[in-house]
Chain A
Amino acid sequence: MDPLLTVSGLTMDFGGIRALDRVDFCVFPGEIVALIGPNGAGKTTVFNCLTGMHRSTSGQMVLTPTGRPQRRLHGLPPHRITAAGLARTFQNIRLFPRMSVLENVMVGRHCRTNTKLFGAIFRPAATVREEKETIAMCLALLGRVGLADQADEVAQNLPYGAQRRLEIARALATDPQLLLLDEPAAGMNPQETVELEALIVAIRNHGLSILLIEHDMKLVMRLAEHIFVMDHGRLIAKGTSDQVRRHPAVIQAYLGEEAADA
């Protein structure tokens, strides 16, 4: 089977600083892949390059959705990448705080709907139908993340864990092939983390691939089929959770020189 996402030689320079140095990895369809590493290793930079927030200095990113032609992602602006099938959440939640929960998700449908100015003003039948479909679909999505009851709440009033789940629902609304989650469990209590884990598995079982950055190692080890470890902008190890756990370079990166020798 072909990988869904293939990243090869991804390099990102900020002035004289090389934040990413020839990073290669791939994600297969229906797989949960984790990207881990110490703080400042360049994980979020990988996400930003993938989603077009940063324009990578060099390297290739190719998306191969099943049954659809390949798409080169490098050099595309963010909204085209989202349209191609990549959706993300943010490390420090970036909702639309003063819009309602439902509206937040509806914004995610933007690239899959096409009402233009004329439609917005005169509301022909096609627009009315599109709006109805959007609302129904977004409510269903909110149901999947357990927020159906709060649909009319203003997003900023949601508790922290619910905001994280709303961000996931909003990303799912863009109909992605691959979902990028940037530290989804950060700041969550154990109960919320358990719910999140169930949600992520449910999303994968729905046929999506997931790439996640996470510091909660227990969660990563339980969830991820493949793990890529980064340090100082380089990929230092990859493999299953057991392989990565025993990898000397990983132990050194996380615990320091001595621990690796011992």
Chain B
Amino acid sequence: MNMKKLPMPTGKDIGHALLIGLWFMFLTFPLLVIKVNPGEQTVSWRWANMLWVGGASAAMALAGRLIVAHRAARAEHPSPKPGWFAVQSTLSQHFTPDRLWLLGGIIILIFLALPLMFSTYQVNIMTTALMYVILGLGLNIVVGFAGLLNLGHVAFYAVGAYTYGLLHLHFNLGFWIALPIGGLMGGLFGILLGFPVLRLRGDYLAIVTLGFGEIIRLVLVNWGDLTQGPSGIADIPRPGLFGLDLSLNQYLIYQYYLTVIMMFFTIFVVNRLRYSRLGRAWFALREDEIACQAMGINKTAIKLTAFSLGAAWAAMAGVLFAAKTTFINPDSFTFMESAFILCIVVLGGMGSITGVVLAALILMLLPEYLRAVAEYRMLVFGAVLVVLMIVRPSGLIPAIRRTYSAMR
């Protein structure tokens, strides 16, 4: 952005910015200024922090206001779209639909080459991030496509993880058998949740699914005979590779590739579903439930399909998770996880596949790389969420429906 073009701040702008600075000083006061040291029983007051926060937030507020004013001024005198749009148009110039495979190929190559370029630690973090991509894409079917707000997605993740854990514990079954069984179990539980909530929408649905998530977790905690309760299930075997003996490092890399394959499979399936008869029915359900029924769509069947598919995917991610960590207990499946996955979907753009993938990677990798600012990392993380939602309210990459008439 050309700074010369920015308008001069008026007194009103400066006053507004100062007010915001004051407000932030007040908000962060308990966190950043007061420091209680229980050991020495002293309280230190870090006033410098307060000045920093006040100054920085006032400056940011001022800059924000000026940019908004600048944009408004430019909207009145439209000029060729700069910045992001330029990037988009160059991208679409180089990757016309018939050359899209090239872009896909490059992305796949990057994913394949990743373990060669980074340490196992980084690869391991990436594996976790990719799992959240899978979880996000699964939830995207329910929330983004069918418009059913589900706050209990983690329940199905738990179902998958425990399916593998328990199958191993009681029947000594391996990963490759547990994966499809886990998916089926997830789908089954999805239908189980789906039936009682068929009549509900919006907030009411959210509350019931929230409760469902908690029920599953509490059952896992309290049904000690079956699940070993809070102590969890340990020593879950990692996935086998034709009976080969792998070192830990090799396992981590193998697991990474496994997750990458699973992710691409998920993207493939979700993308196919999106533009199918089923996908259109989901979108119609999201847009207008009454009109959707009047068009001859069986609301019950469509809702249950969405629930069970989303659940099946979460459960398969759960099996992967159990195999990756080799230890599971109910603490891994709290409401925070559900909220986090929902965050991925909303932030990425509901119904958008690229958006969800991007958001999952950002949300998972950001806290890891923010460890540099250790204490404040969740603070920064929260701020990033807020800013993103203000700047791009319909998600990082809002979903755009494909046009069909080109297929004539």
Q: Chain A residues in contact with chain B, CB under 8 A? A: 51-53, 77-79, 82-83, 87-88, 90, 94-100, 102-103, 106-117, 119-123, 127, 130-132, 134-136, 139, 151-152, 154, 170-171, 173-174
Contact = CB atoms under 8 A, between A and B. Distances in A.
Given A79-B296, A110-B277, A120-B273, A103 B404 contact: yes
A96 B294 CA distance: 12
A108 B297 CA distance: 9
Interface in B283-297: 283-284, 287-288, 290-297
A171 B403 CA distance: 21
Contacts of B269: 121
A171 B291 CA distance: 10
Interface string B384-408: 0000000000000000010111011
A74 to B, nearest CB: 17
Contact of A83 (B272, B273, B277, B296): B296
A11 to B, nearest CB: 22
Tell me the dominant secondary structure on chain B's binding face: helix
B296 A103 contact: no
Nearest to A115: B277
Contacts of B291: 90, 94-96
A97 B287 contact: yes
Contact of A139 (B273, B295, B299, B408): B408
Contacts of A134: 277
Contacts of B284: 96, 99, 107, 110
A95 B294 contact: no
A107 B278 contact: no
B138 interface: no
Contacts, number: 131
A113 B297 CA distance: 11
B280 A107 contact: yes
A115 B276 contact: yes
Interface in B251-308: 269, 272-273, 276-281, 283-284, 287-288, 290-299, 305
Contacts of B408: 135-136, 139
A167 B174 CA distance: 53
B187 to A, nearest CB: 11
Interface size grouping (class) on chain B: 20 to 34
A53 B290 contact: yes
Contacts of B272: 120-123
26 contacts: A51-B294, A53-B293, A83-B296, A90-B291, A96-B287, A96-B288, A98-B283, A98-B287, A98-B401, A99-B284, A102-B404, A107-B295, A108-B296, A109-B277, A110-B277, A110-B296, A115-B277, A116-B278, A121-B276, A135-B404, A135-B408, A136-B408, A139-B408, A151-B405, A152-B405, A154-B401
A12 to B, nearest CB: 17
A120 B276 contact: yes
Nearest to A83: B296
Contacts of A88: 294
B292 A107 contact: yes
B295 A108 contact: yes
A99 B277 contact: no
A122 B305 CA distance: 17
B278 A117 contact: yes
Given A53-B290, A95-B288, A107-B292, A100 B297 contact: no
A231 to B, nearest CB: 26
A176 to B, nearest CB: 10
Nearest to B309: A117
A102 B296 contact: no
A122 B294 CA distance: 28
Contacts of B295: 82, 87, 107-108, 110-111, 170-171, 173-174
